[in-house]
A and B are shown apart, each in its own frame.
Chain A
Amino acid sequence: MSDSVPQGEPHDGEVSRAGRQPEVPAPVGSSQAPQQSLADGEWHRLHPATPLFRGGIFLIAVIGFIVVQWRDLLIELFIGGEIGVPRDPLVTWILGNIFLASVIVVAVLLGIIGITWLAWRVHTFRITHELIEEREGILRRVHRRGRLDRVQGVNVSRPFIPRLFGAARLDVSLAGNEGNIRLAYLTSATADALRADILRAAAAARREQAAAAAAAAGVDPASGVGPAGPAAVADDGADPAEAPLPEAAIADPTAAAAASSGSVAGIIASRVDEFLAPELDQELAEPDSIVQMHPGRLIASTALTLVPAAILITALVVTISIASREQIALLVLLPAMIAIGGVSVRTILRSLRYSIAATKDGIRVGFGFLSTTNETLPPGRVHAIQAIQPLLWRPFGWWSVRINRASSTTRDGAAGQAATTILPVGTLDDVRRVMELILPDVDLEPEFTVSPSRARIFRPLSRRRNGFALTEHAVVMRRGAIWRTVTIVPYARVQSVSLSDGPLYRASRLRRVHVHTVSGPVGTRIGALDVRDGTRLQAEVEERVLQAIAADA
């Protein structure tokens, strides 16, 4: 769709000026003062410049198109002189009926502005102490709601353009396929505060649920955010004090409001501060990430993954061009290399400011360089975790870590594509730290039960590695000789377990066990196990899953 200035001013000039508008803080539409918590159970609107961020690119494209199409005409009109280009009939008509044409243009612009303004007005959200709700749509009303105790993670992302103007997007991922609730766009500070509020409220909701029987239930929601005004206000009142210096993020709206009446320099300064501020804000996280990302390692690891692909493609194309004596085939190389280069640059840029840290609301993972995302995983939302090591990484001892999680993060566009990669590359020490952060009680050096020697045909290289271990809280599976992986599935998150075989496995008295978890990149299957080991694995895992469920309930 198109877009407009949120304030329904009919003048064309307004559109181009609107780029600077978002600075004038929220209150235009929402009478709410921005520094007040938005998680107060009331309906709120989004950032007034939202339509512009969403459709801004489109608008620029349209203007660009018009300019390119009518370049000569525009030059002629504004600079004068006769160029004598043949005019197309539309232009002739417009020049002939200039009044009617401008009426039409203004009417169309007004219509677009009106509609987008209306869309912005009806797009509201609220957060109560147990629900997060979003309403939108003029003709087709959409009402999304999610229960806070089902929140799987909260993600603040700042695509480049909105980020320049201090806006951010907040994604709340919910369990199952009900999808995410996306609040785009909010002011940066609001988004950060809201994330904290949602996580706090979610934790409170979960605690409340857990302690439903207990008498203490009444205490928690109050300490969390809840609908209770005083608690929320007190919470936010403390924020500016807690957030010192460049973390203008929190204090920003007030600063910006003051500055907008005063100096433009103030706005720019605060924006620059925000832009350069570290991704983990002090209010939520301990300042340090537990893993430091070294640019050299990041570049080298990306190169090691993609260079073999590049070499393979080159070799293939060269072979074809030699075989067919058509040098033109070499031209294919160029786009392929550009694509590979693009992927590498994106991967590297994305992970350059990677950070991971424990916060009181869960694990906070930050990604991104120009567009940043910041995601918080509430505790216990990781269903399976896997460390993988491609062959070429082995000399350097690097690993990467991925997880399975219960939310449909596939929808995440900007930089959210790999919300399941929790450590892009790291040493064994880093992996250990990340794993301990996510699954604190798991023994990472257990005794593995490996495949019997008759499984050699099925696992010629990895027979001695291919195995499993049952630790106190999780089942650990180790696989692969060339592409090494170690997978950990906590019993508390296992959905079901299957034991299977086929004719070949039966003849060799082998079994395959699949520990089912929510879908994701982590495979949780282990094959070529001795019959007795396989049967025992299934029975034991099931047993412990049942214990975990009993303990949970």
Chain B
Amino acid sequence: MTETDPLAETHAWRRVSPKFVWVDLLTSVIPGIVATLVLLGVWFFVERIWFLWIPALAVLVVTIVVGALTPRRVRAIGYMLREDDLVFRRGIMWRRIVSVPYGRMQLVDVTRGPIARAFGLAELKFVTAAAATGVTIPGLPEAEAEQLRDQLVALAESRRAGL
């Protein structure tokens, strides 16, 4: 992202909602905290040996690092609607940029998980004939997700191609 981005010269990256930070935090941090508590419980109730602290501590550290990086990770998610294809990127350590021609669309899926729904967000999945495509745009405001879905369907319809 800090490097020059040849894609961004012609089109702007669209970001996902900042509220998605909270969804992501809740889904990644809560299990981490639960795991830490369970491990502490083992130490407290089962066997009070000092080295049983270590797994609990490790899980806690990982959880904190993941949590601290969440805002950056969410900011790194972006998509771009070009004339004939959709470009999607995500990841800060392991970056991945996928470009999918609209004509390759098999279907578009909009799903709302329970936590995302509490924040009024939805997830849009762009499915092609290749399982590896893996374009899932999370954290879209519900209205935007629906609008984007309709837009993608219309675009795909006008650029339909055989398998």
**Residues in A lying within 8 Å of B, measured CB to CB:** 150, 175-176, 406, 493, 495-503, 506, 514, 516-519, 535, 538-539, 542, 545-546, 548-550, 552-553
Contacts and interface: CB of A to CB of B under 8 A. Distances in A.
A496 B128 contact: yes
A496 to B, nearest CB: 4
B99 interface: yes
B27 interface: no
Contacts of B85: 542, 546
B129 A406 contact: yes
Contacts, number: 86
A501 B92 CA distance: 10
Contacts of B100: 495-496
Given A496-B101, A496-B133, A516-B130, 11 more contacts: A406-B163, A496-B128, A498-B96, A500-B94, A500-B97, A501-B95, A516-B128, A516-B132, A518-B163, A535-B6, A542-B99
Given A175-B163, A500-B94, A546 B84 contact: yes
A519 B104 contact: no
Between B106, B130, B134, the greatest number of chain A beta carbons within 10 A of the residue's beta carbon is seen for B130
Contacts of B133: 495-496, 498, 516
Contact of A553 (B93, B97, B160): B160
A500 B96 contact: yes
Contacts of A497: 98-99
Interface residues of B, number: 29
Contacts of B8: none
B95 A500 contact: yes
Between A502, A538, A545, the greatest number of chain B beta carbons within 10 A of the residue's beta carbon is seen for A545
A514 B101 contact: no
Interface string B99-121: 11101101000000000000000
B159 to A, nearest CB: 6
A308 B84 CA distance: 50
B131 interface: yes
A499 B5 CA distance: 13
Contacts of A518: 129-130, 163
B126 to A, nearest CB: 9
Contact of A499 (B96, B130, B131): B96
Interface string B134-148: 110000000000000
30 contacts: A175-B163, A495-B104, A495-B128, A496-B98, A496-B99, A496-B101, A496-B128, A496-B130, A496-B133, A496-B135, A497-B98, A498-B99, A498-B134, A500-B91, A500-B94, A500-B95, A502-B94, A503-B94, A516-B130, A518-B129, A518-B130, A519-B130, A519-B131, A542-B85, A542-B99, A549-B84, A549-B101, A549-B103, A549-B161, A552-B162
A517 B130 contact: yes
Interface of B: 6, 84-85, 91, 93-101, 103-104, 106, 128-135, 159-163
A517 B163 CA distance: 10
A196 B133 CA distance: 35
A519 B85 CA distance: 21
B98 A498 contact: yes
Nearest to A547: B84
A551 to B, nearest CB: 9
A473 B45 CA distance: 67
9 residue pairs, one from A and one from B, having the closest CB atoms: A495-B130, A516-B130, A496-B100, A500-B96, A498-B98, A495-B128, A549-B161, A549-B103, A516-B132
Between A498, A519, A548, the greatest number of chain B beta carbons within 10 A of the residue's beta carbon is seen for A498
Nearest to B83: A546
Given A518-B129, A519-B131, A549 B93 contact: no
Contacts of A175: 129, 163
A334 B43 CA distance: 50
B117 to A, nearest CB: 29
Contacts of B104: 495-496, 549
A150 B100 CA distance: 22
A548 to B, nearest CB: 8
A552 B101 CA distance: 13
A278 B60 CA distance: 69
Nearest to B162: A552
B154 to A, nearest CB: 15
Contacts of A552: 161-162
Nearest to B103: A549
A546 B99 CA distance: 11
Contacts of A495: 100, 104, 128-130, 133
A514 B131 CA distance: 12
Contacts of A519: 130-132
B135 to A, nearest CB: 7
Contacts of A517: 130
Contacts of B128: 495-496, 516
Contacts of A545: 101
Contacts of A499: 96-98
Contacts of A553: 103, 159-161
Contacts of B163: 150, 175-176, 406, 493, 518
A503 B93 contact: yes
B103 A502 contact: no
B124 to A, nearest CB: 15
Between B93, B101, B104, the greatest number of chain A beta carbons within 10 A of the residue's beta carbon is seen for B101
Between A175, A496, A548, A550, the greatest number of chain B beta carbons within 10 A of the residue's beta carbon is seen for A496
A553 B134 CA distance: 25
Contacts of A535: 6
Between A538, A542, A552, the greatest number of chain B beta carbons within 10 A of the residue's beta carbon is seen for A542
A175 B161 CA distance: 14
A552 B104 CA distance: 12
A495 B96 CA distance: 16
B127 to A, nearest CB: 10
A9 to B, nearest CB: 48
A548 B162 CA distance: 11
A28 to B, nearest CB: 40
B7 to A, nearest CB: 9
Contacts of B101: 496, 542, 545-546, 549
Contacts of A176: 106, 129, 163
A541 B137 CA distance: 23
Contacts of B91: 500
